[in-house]
Amino acid sequence: MNATQFQTPLKRARGLGAAKSGAHHWIVQRVTAVALIPLVLWIVYFALRVAFADYAQARALVHDPLNAVLLLAFVLALFWHAQLGLQVVIEDYVHTQWLEIAAQLAVKFFCVLGAVTCALAIVRIALGQ
């Protein structure tokens, strides 16, 4: 007896694409994109300031409350947007199931670890001294 024969078509479609939550990924990708427009413009300006600073000055720049907030917002939006984008690339080009699952997991783990690492580094500097 096949278990799927007792499932409705909606039950089989749920979680596999455009069943109620299909647009969520698309919308979050756009929301993070819009957030990243001003944040990227700011990070370019900020990175140029850091580039000409020595260690103490660079720490002081990240220690500044407003800079720390913007840097944290940038890093979170960045890794969120990167995960969503890389996910679509893998979905489009990787068709071997185990390879696709492995790649999707690797991207998710990398992005979460990257976000956590950056966030903790920023908080350490922002709250230190």
Where along the sequence are the contacts to another protein (CB under 8 A)?
Answer: 30, 33-34, 36-37, 40, 44-45, 48-49, 51-53, 55, 58-59, 62, 75, 78-79, 82, 85-86, 89, 114, 117-118, 120-122, 124-125
Rounded-to-integer distance, Cα 56 and Cα 58, Å: 5
DSSP 25: H
Q: Which residues contact 56 (CB under 8 A, 6 or more apart)?
A: none
Q: Minimum CB separation from another protein for residue 22, in Å?
A: 16
Q: Minimum CB separation from another protein for residue 19, in Å?
A: 22
Q: Which is nearer to another protein, 11 or 34 (CB)?
A: 34
Rounded-to-integer distance, Cα 122 and Cα 117, Å: 9
Q: Minimum CB separation from another protein for residue 80, in Å?
A: 11
Rounded-to-integer distance, Cα 119 and Cα 125, Å: 10
Q: Minimum CB separation from another protein for residue 108, in Å?
A: 12
